[in-house]
Structure 1
Amino acid sequence: MEMKDKVLSSGHYLFDNKPLIVKPWTRDLEMTKEDVKFVPAWVQIHKLPLKFWGKGLPKIASLLGKFIKCDVATEERTRLGYARVMVELVVDQELPAEIAFKDEKGSVIRVDVEYEWRPVKCKKCQGMGHEMEHYMKGIRENVVKKPVKQFIHMKIEALVSRSVFYLTMIYAFNGIQDRTPLWDHLRRFAGQVDGPWAMAGDFNCVLSTTERVGGNTPNAEIEPFRNCVADCAWSDRFPELYANFLPEGMLDHTPCLISSSTQVQKTRNFKYYNMWGASKDFLPIIKRCWSIVAMRKVVELQKMNGKDPSNVGLISEEFEASKTLRDLSVARDSFLA
């Protein structure tokens, strides 16, 4: 509870300069969009004389919206190209490219304004993040069916080409028995879908023991997932689909690009040269550079984190170790490809 209160009271959160709305979770939480009227945004004020970077800055920023704060570089004046402030903007307001105010002598000062992110609201559906004009450009429209536990089914239609496909987003429960209704529903939906269909998300399960790093996965946990995939005839119906996992960048999750291709993905045979084994450094280099050492470290840190889950240092070490293991796996796959 203390950590939750700290998160909720720590101010505004932004991701990719876009506001992230945080609210407390409850058992009866409704996953519906709220009518957002105000959003925080970072604004750059250019050509602002330095004498206004002090106590007068909040008043100047209030010409755009409610002043929240300025960044450290502005406070300490280590970046003089522009003053950077966070203000609370009204979603529907016109955002001026220039603001003007009078100084102590009555002279009019004009400064340029640059928004690092602009709130966009559609006049047609009142949704955030897109404009009404996008509907005329063939942007795909998501028709979301009634959400239920563990998954959401979507029918996605391109408004110009009228092509349709289905997408099921999964967030499965942790328990084996708790996931049984999910597998049953996917089987039923497989018999009803009449077009291309993709599933993505977190199944909280694997199809093979080799897919999980650390710990053993019993067959009793794997078989229901395997049977579901087989019953849905997934491989038979969509053999041309494949997933490409992209670099995670600054995130702790990996983006997944689902593509279709009529070409069979071929892998070249691995060739081993006997001269490699003649070198005394061969095995030490392999062990050091590829997954054996890295995987052991990840498993060890996972066990330590399980015993002390609040240890920030261990969490950071596990993150770095997992990243190293992923990098080595990418290098290995690239070599074998």
Structure 2
Amino acid sequence: MTGALLGLVFATGAVLAYLGWERNRRPALADRLLPYLRDVHPEALNATGSPSVAAAVFGPFLQRIARTISNVLGGSASVASRLNRLGTGQTVEQFRIRQVVWGLSGFGLCVAASVLWFAGRGSAPLSLLVLCGVGFVGGVLGCDNALTTTVRAHERRMNEEFPTVADLLALAVAAGEGPVAGLERVVRVSHGDLASELGRVLADIRTGMTVQRAFDGLAARTEVASIARFSEGLAVAIERGTPLVGVLHAQAADVRESSRRELIEAGGRKEVAMMIPVVFFILPVTVVFAFFPGYIGLHMTSGM
């Protein structure tokens, strides 16, 4: 009983001490600086809406470097197209800033490696400086390559999800719902990249855009042939009042057949690569297991 009372007193004292420290502690640097920076630097608010002193302090510097990279590399239209296809809502300027962060990260890693190398072996400083520059350029180009890879993976997932979404939409339309209502139901019960793109279409329709223009926009911003055909066919069917169920089922069947054909073609292209483990690993092991007992028998016979 005495131990329980002592534990309760200790816990109460610890809680009271923490509450007193929380109430009387000095304000953080962000709390002291943000009232003066929020009006001067709009970058003081990050993407989530919460204050960020780092964004206010380093934002202009990163933006200048991002503009320089954009002027040197160019291709802002290509970047904008890929960002639009990805559908994240990120602007070209934000992507350029992310490229700068990637480049600075590569530069920092190369600086750390150069310091360790110079301390250990004493290499020429000029070559290490070139290595640091290569690290910055590699980070910038790696960010662009990562964006391209992400867009391709996004479109591949959309193509894989399309047959299921088309069948669900065909079932909803066959049950008596309209195209827009069926699309809302499909988006509500589906999860994935294609459902997100269809959600953007529904958002455009709710803001007053016509159904045909919304689906034309989906066809324009995606480079997946099946999605583009689906959008154009759906827009034409809604405009002219033609039946949708057969069209959707036919498109889903075409995409499944195309996926099966691509899988067979990929298997044919990988046939030579699949022979490498067979020739260099499995076949030698099989030969060793086949001839080793005979070799041991001949060695024992010759020894006798």
TM-score computed with the length of structure 1 as normaliser? 0.18
> Highest Rg: 1 or 2?
2
Question: Which protein, 1 or 2, shows the higher relative CO under an 8 Å CA cutoff with sep ≥ 6?
Answer: 2
Task: Name the structure where strand makes up a greater proportion of residues.
Answer: 1
TM-score computed with the length of structure 2 as normaliser? 0.20
Task: Name the structure where helix makes up a greater proportion of residues.
Answer: 2
